[in-house]
Chains A and B, each alone.
Chain A
Amino acid sequence: MAARNSFKGDWLVLPLVGIVAVLLLWTASSASWAKSLPSPLKTWEMSKLYVMEPLAKRGELDQGVVRFTWYSLVLVTKGYAIALLVGTPVGFLLGCSKRLTLMFDPIIQFLRPVSPLAWLPLGLVLFQKSEPAALFTIALCAMWPTVINTAVGVRAVPQDYLNVARVLKLSRTKTLFKVLLPATLPYMFTGFRLSLGIAWLVIVACEMLIGTPGVGGFLWQEYNSLIYEHIILCILTIGLVGFVLDRLMGMVEKRFSAV
Chain B
Amino acid sequence: MSFLELTAVGKSYGQGSNRTEVLRDINLSINEGEFVAIVGYSGAGKTTLISMIAGLLAPDTGEVRCGGQVVAEPGPERGIVFQNYSLLPWLSVYENVAMAVDQVFPQMSSAERRARTEQYIAMVNLTPASHKKPRELSGGMRQRVSVARALAMDPKVLLLDEPLSALDALTRGTLQDEIARIWRESQKTIVLITNDVDEGLLLADRIIPLSAGPSATLGPATVVDLPRPRDRKALMKDPAAKRMRLQVIEYLLGEGRRRAPAQAVAADLTTAPERSAVAVVA
Known: A160-B82, A160-B84, A178-B99. A167 touches B90 (CB 8 A): no
Find chain A residues with CB under 8 A from B80 CB: 163, 167
**Nearest chain-B residue to A160 (Cβ)?**
B86
CB of A166 within 8 A of CB of B74, answer yes
CB of A166 within 8 A of CB of B99, answer no
CB of B104 within 8 A of CB of A179, answer no
B79 located at the interface, meaning its Cβ lies under 8 Å from any Cβ of chain A in the complex: yes
Find chain A residues with CB under 8 A from B82 CB: 160, 163-164
CB of A167 within 8 A of CB of B84, answer no
CB of B104 within 8 A of CB of A168, answer yes
B267 located at the interface, meaning its Cβ lies under 8 Å from any Cβ of chain A in the complex: no
**Nearest chain-A residue to B73 (Cβ)?**
A166
A161 located at the interface, meaning its Cβ lies under 8 Å from any Cβ of chain B in the complex: yes
Known: A167-B74, A168-B104, A169-B75. A161 touches B88 (CB 8 A): yes
Interface size class of B (residues with CB under 8 A): 20 to 34
**Nearest chain-A residue to B146 (Cβ)?**
A164
CB of A170 within 8 A of CB of B103, answer yes
Distance in Å: Cβ of A39 to nearest Cβ of chain B: 53
Binary interface profile of A, 177-195, with partner B (CB < 8 Å = 1, else 0)? Answer: 0110011010000000000
B89 located at the interface, meaning its Cβ lies under 8 Å from any Cβ of chain A in the complex: yes
A residues neighboring B (CB under 8 Å):
158, 160-161, 163-164, 166-170, 174, 178-179, 182-183, 185, 259
Q: List 27 A-B contacts (CB under 8 A).
A: A158-B86, A160-B82, A160-B84, A160-B86, A161-B86, A161-B88, A163-B56, A163-B80, A163-B86, A164-B82, A164-B86, A166-B74, A167-B56, A167-B79, A167-B80, A168-B76, A168-B100, A168-B153, A169-B74, A169-B75, A169-B76, A170-B103, A174-B103, A178-B99, A182-B88, A183-B88, A185-B90
B residues neighboring A (CB under 8 Å):
54, 56, 73-76, 78-80, 82, 84, 86, 88-90, 99-100, 103-104, 133, 153
